Structure formats: C-alpha cells, structure tokens
Structure 1
C-alpha cells in the first residue's frame, strides 16, 4: 500500500524554462526521427567493424531501408485520412520495433563494446559481432515481453490519499481510475470486457475515465467500448475527454459515454454526499479542445466549479497532467489525469517529461493540490509496454479526522 509519504515535489520555474527550450527542439523530431530510428541500429549492427559476408550486409541494410520507408507510409495510411486499420497496425508495430532497436543499439554500443575491450575479450570483429547479437537478443526479449504486457489486463494499483479538507463522513471513499484505453486498430473487445470485470471487483464508490477512450470514431469503435456500460459504481461513473477524442469526432464519444450510463463532466461538476460531508467532483474538457474548432469544447475550470461551495474539497478530472498548474492556482485538492502512459516504452518517458510536469504517480503542486497521474489502462500505437506497466488505479480517500 502506498500513502502520501510517496508524494514527489515538482520543480517550478526552472523546469518550465527547460521544458520550453526542449519543446522547440521536439518540433523537428518528425523530420529526423524516422531516419535516426532506422539508420542508427543499421550502422551499429552491420557497419561498425563486424565484417559480415557481403550478402548479410546487403540484405540487412535493405531490411533497415525497407523499415525506414514502410513505417511512415503505413502510419500515414493508418492514422491519416484513410484510417486503414491494417496499415496502422503495421506502422505502429514498426515504430515500436525501431524504437527498441534504436535504444539498445546505442546503449550496448556505448556500454558493452568498451566493457569487452577493457576485459580483453575477443578481437575487434568478435566484439562488434557480440554487440550485434546482444542487441538483437535484448530487442527480441523486450518486444515479446512488452507485447504481453500491453495486451494483458492491467494490475490494480492501490493508494491511500490523504486530503486535509476531506470530511470524516467521506473517509474511505473508493475511487477507481481508468484512462487511455485507446480502443483502436487491434480489436480489444474481450480485453475491454475483462478490464471492466476487474473494475467491478473493487467495490468502487466512484469510477472515473480521464479520456483517450479510443483512436477512431465512436461508431467505429463502439463494440470495443460497449463493455464500459457494464462498469458498476455505488455513486457515479464520470468521464472527461482526452486529446484523442478531438482527433475523431469528440462529441460522438461524449454522446456514447452518456448512452452507456457515464456522466460526461464537460466543464461541470456533481456533488457526492456521504456521512454528512460533501465532495465536489469536477471535470474539464482536454486542453486541446478549444483548438479542435468544436463549438462549446474547451477546458474551462471556472465553469466546472461554478456554483460549488469554495470551502468544499474538490476532486478534478483533467486528461493531461499539465492542467495541474491551473488546478493548483484554483486550490483544487486532487487532480486525476492520464495521457502520459508512463512513457509506454522505456526510455520514452524522458521525452514525455518535456511536455508534462509528471509522468506517473502521486505528486504535490503548490500548498494544497495533489496530482495522481496514471500510466494508463491500455496502449497507444505500438502494441508494447516496456518498463511502463499499465494500471487500473484504486484510490482510497482519507480524511485527517476519520470517524471513530
């Protein structure tokens, strides 16, 4: 069990400045990333002293070139206007494979080859070939394990979260968080049903979905999302939009969740009363909503809290962790978010950290506000999770004055 002693402080202005500089560099990544992802492992595995027979070098180089060409083409056909699920699966899988190859080619070239040389193991060619086989072996193991991790039903992570303003009557309130289910090109209807069955074993008072339900329209992914209608909560099931809803007719997802019995908290709140005490449960549209052009869609915290007693504790649903700056300024007690996937494939969390203040877990922001960032329940794109396990989160809210 984890409690608020695990809360991590978050840096302020220095981090924001560093993030701004890195974000400017990240803008150029789409242009150079595909080349780096395929060219670096090709060079490390085939052209750094291995002296493979010419047919091996030629075929290997051709395969890397094919990956470089095929990956962006498949992703454009899969995620662009055509929305071809088969192409999306190919492109996303190649993206995951290339990322793992790239990462471990660099790491083992930098670490293993000097270690072999320092230990006087083998000659130059032998050491180079050892690095190649090590990279291929590690990549194969991580991809196999990462695929199994991505497709399994997430484990339940339980935390006790102490909120100083929470009334004694609400002590022990059970809040379940799922997020980033990303129903998509790979049909996960059975997985969705099993996730919902797991949620139903947790005796939740409140179940929250903080967005990115799917990649694709509600009509297209309805069969995968339908099990969400079976989720049980004693008090309420609430939902807010994520950025991916705004790539695929967000209003359709809002309408479907309402049809399935969830309450979309689109810049509004509800009151949860128990034992004579009250909790404000509020939600905002994703921060990308306003740029989507959809009428009435925007992240509007003041609207979400309009009419709520300012002396009551507030639980806020906001898809992206970076909304916590506004939440802290408004004195929110606890924000629940997703979006980051915990990085999904190590060490991508370092790049996620450029854009978001927290990648996973419980953190404190300002004098009052706590933020819990889930690593997500599903996966986006590459069907792999490496050192970033998915989760269903059970947060048990604790009052500083629990009932006797």
Structure 2
C-alpha cells in the first residue's frame, strides 16, 4: 500500500464569506498602514497632496484583487499578472517599513519632536528605505543566480562516487515576465560547473507549456554526465502538471514521477528518486500523488538514496524511508524579508543544509528564480552545486 497523502480540505458552509472577509482585512492592512504612515498621520500635507495620495492608495487596493484573479487565474493573463505582482511587492515592502517607521515615530515622540516634523521624518525614512530596497531587490531578482557551493558527506556513498557534482535548480517560475535570456544565462552557468547530475525540484513555471515554452527551451541544452532529473512542484498543479512532466521528458530530462533511476561510477551506485509534490493528490490530476514507496520500489536498500522532493515538509517521508539526502526548494528563502518568518510557520527549514533523524540530511535551496513580485530582499537566488563526499 502507498503512504497516506494530503487531499484538499472540504469546503464548509460560509467558507467563501470568511475568505472574502480575510482578503478584505489583509488588503485594508497592506494598503492602509502605508497610507496612514505616508499620507494621513500628522504630516499635515496640503489638501491636493492628501487627496491625490489617498486616491492612489484606494485605486490600487480596489484594482489589486481583480488584477490578481485575471493574471493568476485559469487563463494566466500576463499583463495583469505583471501589474499585480509588482504592486504586491511594492505594497509589501512599504507595509513592512511603515510598521517599523512607526517605531521610529515613538522614539521621536519621546525625544520631544512634534508633528508635522515628526511624521514627515518618518515618511521620508520609510520612503527612502523602501525605494532603495525595491530597486536593489529587483536587480537581485532579475540577475542570473549566483552559484552556492556546498559539500555534503554521505556515509553510505561508495568511493567511486566521492566528489559527485549535483547541480540543483528549483523554482524557476517561468512566468508573466519573459525571462528567456535569463534562462539561457542560468543554463550557461550550469554547464560551466561540469555537473554529473542536474536536478530540478519543481515549480518550473506559472502557466501552461504552450505559454512558457520559449523560456523553458534552454533547459534542453543542460549537460550532465550521468543524469538530468525533475520532479513536480505545487505550481505545476495550477499549470498542467502532466503536460510539464511530458515536456521535460521531451527536453531529455528524466521525470521522476514517483520513481527512481540508478547512476553508477567507479564501481559505486546511487539511487536517485523523486516524488510528486505533497499537494498533488488534491489537484485532481489523475495518477499524481506523493508516494515514497513507489519511488523506491525495487531499489537496493543497501545503496544510498538521493531524493528529489519539492517541499522541505516532505522530509518526514524521506526519514521514514531511509533516504540519505533530500534536495528541495519551495521556500525561496523567504524572497522578500520579513516573509521568511511566515514561511517557517509552514516549513521545517528555510534554506541550507540540515539533519533530520540519524541518517537523513536535507538541502533546501533559496530558489533559482522568483515567484510573483520581481523582487528579492535579503534572500538571494541560487544555483546550487552540491558535491557529495563519501565517509
């Protein structure tokens, strides 16, 4: 029998109303706090500035849900998605620094600085910090990822595979912003690393294969001495997961759809297995679900196992099945600070190498691309070079 898998929660009565209330509350906070800090508070702006600033915030807040639905709904319309994603990133950064700016407001009040000077100082600091971070964050998001080099000791790894070079790509999120040139740059970096194995642990794109074919095309030119392997992430299940599995196969990648391959070098062998994302069972895509037993069926239990699983949270199954190393993505390292802390509520690890149980290690990448807002703040992207070492 396969292991238990996650399914969608049942929709209870009133759920839609509760969801609408939650969305409204979030929008009021996200847009309202920056509005209060920058426009209202004690700035005492001239009437035209106050009215103009208020109109900008109200229009942005009112348009945002529709833009998100149009851009990230069933049809993946790129222009609304680009506007909504950029707006989300901007308002998040301004929200965070508005909250912190109001701490500065208290300090200034204690120091005896009165309004409107106090509020205008806060407004200036918040605006400057937010704009600098947004410009820098956009540059970080759009650049070709830096290489992060990690050595991982796997005691059961045979001597013939000592020094095996595994390059990890994940969360490329080919999407509304055409990043075909960026994709080519990533592949050039990967090939320069002379990898033995290249792994992509999902969230390859936001959109159907037909929409993102150009951006994904360079993946067909990835070179690896022993294997190119891929598993689905949660975003494939919004974008035609089975078609992405088939497309990656057509580009020459092994789609590890709850299955494994064995690679050999110097008389030593390594099992490379993959499982579907933990959300697959609830997606309605026939035959897709997370199944560690199926992935390892027929594998020699004496051999070390490298497992591809999109989410760090899937580590529980890896530990239970004696996996030596799981490689994952999904977290984006938080992508835009301080979203890091929200990610940690859902996932056991944010990024980096960690140990789970006596045998199993987990490497979590910060992601090669980005989702949604074209910004990365205090969470740089990465192309990961994992060098496997025997004991």
TM-score, length of structure 2 as denominator length: 0.93
- Of 69, 73, 78, the match for 2:71: 78
What is the match of residue 29 of structure 2? Answer: 36
Q: Distance in 2 between matches of 1:222 and 1:357?
A: 33
Distance 1:154 1:27, change over 3 A: farther
Deviations 1:156-215 (A, max 9, x none): 000000111111111100000000000011100010000000000001000000000100
Deviation at 1:293, TM superposition (A): 1.2
What is the match of residue 100 of structure 2? Answer: 107
Consecutive unaligned residues in structure 2, runs of 5 or more: 1-17
Q: Following TM superposition, where does structure 1 have runs of at least 4 consecutive aligned residues deviating by more than 4 angstroms?
A: 25-29
Deviation at 1:83, TM superposition (A): 2.2
Deviation at 1:380, TM superposition (A): 0.5
Deviations 1:114-168 (A, max 9, x none): 3334444x43321110000111111111111111100000000000001111111
What is the match of residue 92 of structure 1? Answer: 85
- Of 311, 320, 327, the match for 1:320: 311
Deviations 1:312-349 (A, max 9, x none): 11000000110001111111110000011111110001
Q: Distance in 2 between matches of 1:355 and 1:393?
A: 23
Asked whether 1:395 is paired with 2:381, we answer: no
What is the match of residue 259 of structure 2? Answer: 268
Matching of residues 121-270 of structure 1 within 5 Å: 122-270=113-261
Deviations 1:28-57 (A, max 9, x none): 754422221100111112222111112111
TM-score, length of structure 1 as denominator length: 0.90
Consecutive unaligned residues in structure 1, runs of 5 or more: 1-24
Secondary structure, counterpart of 1:59 in structure 2: helix
The root-mean-square deviation of aligned C-alpha atoms, in Å, is: 1.5
Distance 1:363 1:27, change over 3 A: farther
Deviations 1:362-394 (A, max 9, x none): 111111111101000001110111111000000
Alignment: residue pair count: 374
Secondary structure, counterpart of 2:116 in structure 1: helix
- Of 262, 281, 285, the match for 1:290: 281
